[in-house]
Copies of this chain bind each other. A is one copy, B any other.
Amino acid sequence: MKLLVVGSVAFDAIETPFGKTDKILGGAATYITLASSVLGVESGIVSVVGGDFPQADLDMLSNRKINIEGIEIVKEGKTFFWSGKYHNDLNSRDTLVTEVNVLEHFDPKIPDSMQDAEVLLLGNLHPGVQLSVLEKMKNKPKLVILDTMNFWMDSAWGILMEMIAKTDVISINDEEARQLSGEYSLVKAAQKIHTLGPKYVIIKKGEHGALLFHEGKIFSIPALPLEVVFDPTGAGDTFAGGFGAHLAKTGDFSFENMKAAIIVGSAMASFTVEKFGTERLETVTNEDLKNRINDFKNLTSFEVAL
């Protein structure tokens, strides 16, 4: 087991200017592990679903060599459900429904088969749940990657600080970085967040790309300019999945390789937004990924002769 992923496996119902879906497969852990399976990385999920969760979706994950032993099925419960509607610019959305359901009392259990994971990727969940997973691991993972959001800064600050203190790489968006640090400048925000624990700080800027900070060094990558963003749902989770999977696959946690991991994550995320939900991500091949990474190279490379 290279990569252990803790996060939601869920249902989403999505409306964008281009159409709407019924309840479809969603959840952070779903996007993360689908991205990692494109890289051929052995991964496993720790999560919980209800009795209403389709066996076909579990089989789909299994067939992609994703270890689903850690997905607890609460027969009498219902799966987490989120429904949202994106505005015309696709940069903002309204949440229509959030049914926490079985996630409310989620007590993660880590199967023995996952105890040796080298990289632990904690998808966005209550920081108390994230922390309990880390504490339940018999072998400390070599790298802990944390995704979180402003909701937990508002509602669970103390335990979030405990969790962040034990994190190697934190991945948040620009507004969250400002909230977490109290600094407007993202350079200063990253400096403050370093002092909370994480040696690596990733700040996601959506259509403007992402920044990576480490020991005074900065890497900045634009997003791939797309003619149409069809559905942004899961883009951040897919990014985290591509990022974590590249690190788990290579076992190289240097700044240079983190940069490469950010490119892999960005390339993966650029596929997810092309169709609804996981539809596009499920069909991405390794060849597609290589071509997309090449697109990033073409997008950003330059030579200046003064």
A contacts, CB < 8 Å to B: 39, 88-89, 184-188, 205, 208-209, 211, 217-222, 225-229, 250, 256, 259-260, 262-264, 286, 289-290, 293, 298-306
Contacts and interface: CB of A to CB of B under 8 A. Distances in A.
B187 A225 contact: yes
Contact of A225 (B39, B218, B264): B218
A264 B219 contact: no
Contacts of A218: 225, 299
Given A260-B303, A289-B306, A306-B290, A220 B222 contact: yes
Given A208-B205, A220-B299, A184 B88 contact: yes
Contacts of A88: 184
A128 to B, nearest CB: 33
Contact of A184 (B39, B89, B290, B299): B89
Nearest to A206: B208
Nearest to A306: B290
Which 9 A-B pairs give the minimum distances between C-beta atoms? A220-B222, A208-B208, A260-B304, A259-B302, A187-B227, A187-B225, A220-B299, A263-B304, A300-B300
A185 B227 contact: yes
B225 A222 contact: no
Given A185-B228, A217-B298, A220-B299, 5 more contacts: A205-B208, A209-B222, A220-B225, A256-B303, A262-B302
